[in-house]
Amino acid sequence: MTQTRRIEIADALESAYRNITALADGLSEADLMLPSRCAGWAVGDVLYHQLLDARRALRTFASPSAEPPDTDQVGYWRFYPAQGEAAEAERGENAAHARHVRIVASAYPPGALAWEWRETSAAACRAARACPHEAVTTQGHVLTTADFVSTLTVEAAVHYLDMTVALPSAPAPDPDSLAIVRWVLGGLLGRSMPGEWDDQACALKGTGRVPLTAEDRAELGELAGRLPLFG
């Protein structure tokens, strides 16, 4: 990956995080309790989940690896969801994580969650640009730093759509980060996503947040059974 592409991906992360910040800064206490697209989670829960990702980013940028990458910005998502015996363990881990998120997010006083997100996400963006390491380690994997930044961008772009499902006046999704989601989904599928889907529809359908129509299934053929590509 060229230095120019790494800068473009860092720009997309910053745009995606800035979009979440603009949303968070305008949320009332009632807004934080509105439903999201994540089953069982309110808007505030997804925001806290994103805060955990920004915290993880800060740890990861300070965790260089001397080993070569074992996955990339596309392959990283092949681990989600897990398959076979690992799926049962993942369900337990997801339930524990969901419980933790609900408890902690609800404990923040008014305005505190948005403030911590704003400060932490901005620090993560600065760290992404300043990170001197070629490869970093996170969640048991080694990625190039640029590929790791791409995974953060995809996560932020998709969760922004989750947070805004019940907030029609929210700022529009960031187009640069959604374009990266589309590229990653195409890499997972092994072909371009359907051209009639715009980038937002691609993100929602490719991750199972919106069901496929009969026309979608006809366009994808046997590949339709592989969706969602990650959740």
Q: 41-65, pLDDT tens digit by residue? A: 999 999 999 999 999 999 999 999 9
Per the domain annotation, does 175 fall within a domain? yes
Q: Give the domain extent around 221.
A: 3-226
Check: pTM over 0.85? Answer yes or no.
yes
Per the domain annotation, does 113 fall within a domain? yes
Per the domain annotation, does 194 fall within a domain? yes
Q: What is the pLDDT at residue 87?
A: 54
Per the domain annotation, does 149 fall within a domain? yes
Q: What is the pLDDT at residue 90?
A: 63
At a CB cut-off of 8 Å and minimum separation 6, what does 142 contact?
65, 67, 68, 69, 70, 71, 135, 136
Give the tokens for residue 209. Answer: 């947040």
Per DSSP bridges, beta strands 135-138 and 141-144 are antiparallel
Per the domain annotation, does 66 fall within a domain? yes
| Rounded Cα distance, 69 and 191, in Å | 24
What integer best gives the mean pLDDT of the chain?
A: 94
**Which residues on adjacent β-strands are paired with residue 64?**
136
Per the domain annotation, does 38 fall within a domain? yes
Per the domain annotation, does 231 fall within a domain? no
Q: Give the single-character DSSP code of 174.
A: P
- H-type helices in the chain, by residue range? 3-25, 29-32, 43-61, 85-107, 112-130, 145-163, 175-189, 199-206, 214-220
What b/e string do you get for 174-207 counting C-beta neighbours within 10 Å, with b at 16 or more?
A: bebbbbbbbbbbbbbbeeebbeebebbbbbbbbb
- 201 to 75, 210, 231: CA distances (angstroms): 22, 8, 15
CATH number for the domain spanning 156: value is: 1.20.120.450
Per the domain annotation, does 67 fall within a domain? yes
pLDDT in tens, the chain (231 residues): 678 888 999 999 999 999 999 999 999 999 999 999 999 999 999 999 999 999 999 999 999 999 999 999 999 999 876 555 545 656 778 889 989 999 999 999 999 999 999 999 999 999 999 999 999 999 999 999 999 999 999 999 999 999 999 999 999 999 999 999 999 999 999 999 999 999 999 999 999 999 999 999 999 999 999 999 998
Q: Count structural domains, the chain.
A: 1
| Rounded Cα distance, 43 and 8, in Å | 28
